[in-house]
């Protein structure tokens, strides 16, 4: 990647990773605070299969996955799960119920999740430090 003003573009990926993780973490915590029964009921209402299983799974994924994204561990795998979640929420829930404009957040989270699947975790992540082999990143050299 080309550097602008000497800054590694992977720092931009890091910003996307951390902000995406925070958004998912907050939404997952909200699901627990509001009660998993409400999540399950909503999933049943919109026709999500096995809402009693999928509802708690999504809440746990958002909390645990959000934390993992923030620290940058298993970024590609967690982001793939989030991308699948956002495809479902966009196409199955938001657009049919509320229209294209109501799906802005879901589409933005889909895009950021796909970026992380393709680009990895960026700099300042546990993935970069421990898991991704190859040349050391700028963060590791500092």
Q: What Rg do the C-alpha atoms of the chain give, in angstroms?
A: 17
- Identify the pLDDT of residue 92: 92
- Identify the pLDDT of residue 9: 82
- Identify the pLDDT of residue 141: 47
Q: What is the mean pLDDT of residues 70-91?
A: 97
Percent of the chain with pLDDT over 70: 89
- Identify the pLDDT of residue 14: 95
From CA 83, how far away is CA 85, in angstroms rounded?
A: 5
Tokens of 62: 């958002």
In this predicted structure, the answer to whether residue 7 has a pLDDT above a threshold of 90 is no
From CA 130, how far away is CA 75, in angstroms rounded?
A: 12
Following DSSP, what letter does each residue of the chain receive, concatenated? ---BTTB-THHHHHHHHHHHHHHHHHHHHHHHHH-HHHHHHHHHHTT-SSHHHHHHHHHHHHHHHHHHHHHTSSHHHHHHHHHHHHHHIIIIIIHHHH-SGGGHHHHHHHHHHHHHHHH-S-SSSHIIIII--SSPPHHHH-
- Identify the pLDDT of residue 6: 74
């Amino acid at each position: 990647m080309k550097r602008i003003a000497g800054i590694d573009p992977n720092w931009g990926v890091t910003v996307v990773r951390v902000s995406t993780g925070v958004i998912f973490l907050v939404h997952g915590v909200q699901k627990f605070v509001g009660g998993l029964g409400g999540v399950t009921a909503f999933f049943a209402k919109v026709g999500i299969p096995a809402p009693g299983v999928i509802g708690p799974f999504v809440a746990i994924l958002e909390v645990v996955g959000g934390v993992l994204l923030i620290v940058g561990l298993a970024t590609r795998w967690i982001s793939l799960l989030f991308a699948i979640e956002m495809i479902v929420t966009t196409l199955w829930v938001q657009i049919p119920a509320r229209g294209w404009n109501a799906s802005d957040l879901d589409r933005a989270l889909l895009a950021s999740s796909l970026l992380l699947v393709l680009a990895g975790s960026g700099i300042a992540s546990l993935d970069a430090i421990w898991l991704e082999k190859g040349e050391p990143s700028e963060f590791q050299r500092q």
